[in-house]
Structure 1
């Protein structure tokens, strides 16, 4: 642990710049392909069923793999796992490009590709969440996570436009090759320039089996009350977020008009808000207590969900959507930092694996509940109802002594 502390204090700025640069390059290439496949399926099939299959293929593998990948992130070198995930996705993308060039352009190949990319994401996400405390001093985790959130928001803002432009000028195969190139650059950046020592558990001979490690992760969660309540809060929150996340485009079409520019505008407003929110949390750092920051953002998101259900004017609707976007990084960042600060290093991968499983499954589960209801009652009523429930959930968060204690600065808490 001493060598890691020295490494963090001495080279952390260089290391985090290299790490975030590699992740940005990789994410940009992946986002280009993700949107290109979505546009391609939409244009070629005009089928909602095909799009649904693509979305399902893109989240189910992540859901099932996340808890297992969390164990890998604790047992093995996290940098190598990230490179392995990028390499797996790049290899699959290269094979897909070659098959398309040879004339094998069946849609089922795109669904397989979506599943492989989801597997890579499932491996990479807990490893990235767990590796940051190895690179960044604890007092800078909020700022770095906020900057990372802003970078991701910028990519999600730019990628759809760049992908659509490339698809209109060149073939989808060329976009596949761009993703391969960006993945290779990202892997080489980590391999050649970024020197991170393995965390303690990965550098030692494993004393327990894989499944024992998995069970130890479950026992660790059960023994720490704040983790149980933290995950329960997130599960309920993400279910309640489903209407605001998935049904607002349909609401806009029904209530304000089916003009394409309106649908584009709400996506742009949300993305711009996320960029601003990432900058806000990176510079501000949030309240001293992480849970207070989380609750503050949760309150804003609940109020915005309620607002989206009552405003009659589209321009006011856009403003609320932008505020919603601002609150998102302010919500996500303290949640990640809280885990990075409070969870023992040897368990970080498993904990982030569980968080990844919850975040990828609860909103789709919410859609199974709210989606059919949206064809019976107005979406506005669903937004009003879920917005009110989110506000009530925020009150419970603020009144939960265990969670509030866990959010206090190190040295002041008495977390069980």
Structure 2
């Protein structure tokens, strides 16, 4: 692949892969540790998940600003170094069974991790051509698919053979490897500091808030970008509902006695989908167009999601999940490759800082809604209907607004 002829891209890709690998192994092993050590208190595993998610709501308003104003390479590398240090503290806390301290360290480590992605995205955008954005998005989806296929098994095997301490050590080593790779990258000054150097004291709270809301102003000024990102709120709600619905379907409808095994099978199917669908994504976009792949994928996925609640056969359900995952993978490739095309390099951090909290808010609201209404007022079948309608609505919204906005954007670019 042409992307790997770029030494900086190769190092950043390997750094991201190492970091994600360690995180997946560590997080899964920690979940197994909590369930083994505190089997009568399963809410501890839920608390751990919150420690991974909650930091977003505390740091989202300034991580993107810092990625645009400070040295992106240093931010990414320091994020790895700090997480490696915190992982050493986590190892001590786990060894001594200090659970509260372990949760606090997980929270801090997750908060530090939020600084990595905007900096990484900005660095990668600066070393790729527009034609390579889709390739990179497809590659990221492929890696995600690999972790979905093998992540749970790697975590389980590591915990079984090495214990929680061994898993945490692997987690820490992955951050060290990632930090070394990022440090060895040779980026130009323009890529590292797209807005130039700032003097000490210039980046106060007033400046940070002004820059953060400047990201919103920038998105409002680009109608196509704003239209695409508006759909991310619905995607967040879909992610939240789909995070629990397959498990509920197996537990309360299709296979109460073997729901754990079938839930793992769903994850395996989705991982295979991401691998296959991501490989086909770039080809589909070239053959058709971003808008057609995006709209057709969402409409097809929404229609098939409605069928998930209607089936009572476990293998029909799994087959539908397999097809839906394969359809959605190219949709993710479109979105992952399109955003960098529309955003100036100097604004990427501030724009990306709006996306994750938007999705996280919707995901939290969706999970709260499910917790309130299921199973007291609605069945799992009704939840699938609501989920399918959400996907169909965002597909119809994109079908109505994106074609005209895309034509306008092409005219502006040509002018």
TM-score computed with the length of structure 2 as normaliser: 0.89
Change (3 A) 1:193 1:72: closer
The farther-off stretch of 370-379 and 349-358 is 370-379
Please give the alpha-carbon distance, in whole angstroms, between the structure 2 residues aligned to 1:29 and 1:10. 24
Change (3 A) 1:228 1:76: same
Alignment match, 2:366: 366
| Among 30, 45, 70, the residue aligned to 1:37 | 30
Alignment match, 2:154: 162
Please give the alpha-carbon distance, in whole angstroms, between the structure 2 residues aligned to 1:90 and 1:328. 34
The farther-off stretch of 109-118 and 366-375 is 109-118
* Residues 405, 414 of structure 1: 8 Å contact kept: no
How many angstroms does 1:298 deviate by? 1.7
Alignment match, 1:181: 173
> Across the two proteins, how many residue pairs are aligned to each other?
403
Please give the alpha-carbon distance, in whole angstroms, between the structure 2 residues aligned to 1:188 and 1:390. 41
Change (3 A) 1:263 1:10: closer
* Residues 12, 135 of structure 1: 8 Å contact kept: no
Q: Is residue 96 from structure 1 mapped to residue 90 from structure 2 by the alignment?
A: yes
Matches within 5 A, 1:17-36: 17-36=10-29
Encode CA deviations 1:115-143: one digit per residue, 9 max, x unaligned: 12321332122222322221211111101
Alignment match, 2:115: 123
Please give the alpha-carbon distance, in whole angstroms, between the structure 2 residues aligned to 1:194 and 1:201. 15
Q: Is residue 247 from structure 1 mapped to residue 224 from structure 2 by the alignment?
A: no
* Residues 288, 408 of structure 1: 8 Å contact kept: no
How many angstroms does 1:404 deviate by? 2.9
Encode CA deviations 1:172-197: one digit per residue, 9 max, x unaligned: 11211111212111111121244454
* Residues 242, 370 of structure 1: 8 Å contact kept: no
Please give the alpha-carbon distance, in whole angstroms, between the structure 2 residues aligned to 1:10 and 1:396. 33
Matches within 5 A, 1:51-200: 51-101=45-95, 103=96, 105-199=97-191, 200=193
* Residues 15, 195 of structure 1: 8 Å contact kept: yes
Please give the alpha-carbon distance, in whole angstroms, between the structure 1 residues aligned to 2:3 and 2:274. 31
Change (3 A) 1:285 1:18: farther
Alignment match, 1:4: none
Please give the alpha-carbon distance, in whole angstroms, between the structure 1 residues aligned to 2:293 and 2:242. 21
Please give the alpha-carbon distance, in whole angstroms, between the structure 1 residues aligned to 2:173 and 2:137. 26
Alignment match, 1:314: 314
Change (3 A) 1:230 1:282: closer
Change (3 A) 1:215 1:248: same
The farther-off stretch of 250-259 and 389-398 is 389-398
* Residues 86, 105 of structure 2: 8 Å contact kept: yes
Extract unaligned runs of 5+ from structure 2: none
Alignment match, 2:43: 49
Change (3 A) 1:158 1:196: farther
Alignment match, 1:231: 229
How many angstroms does 1:113 deviate by? 2.9
Please give the alpha-carbon distance, in whole angstroms, between the structure 2 residues aligned to 1:332 and 1:312. 29
How many angstroms does 1:39 deviate by? 1.1
Alignment match, 1:395: 396
* Residues 406, 414 of structure 1: 8 Å contact kept: no
Please give the alpha-carbon distance, in whole angstroms, between the structure 2 residues aligned to 1:16 and 1:154. 19
Change (3 A) 1:322 1:412: farther
* Residues 61, 209 of structure 2: 8 Å contact kept: no
How many angstroms does 1:33 deviate by? 0.5
How many angstroms does 1:218 deviate by? 2.5
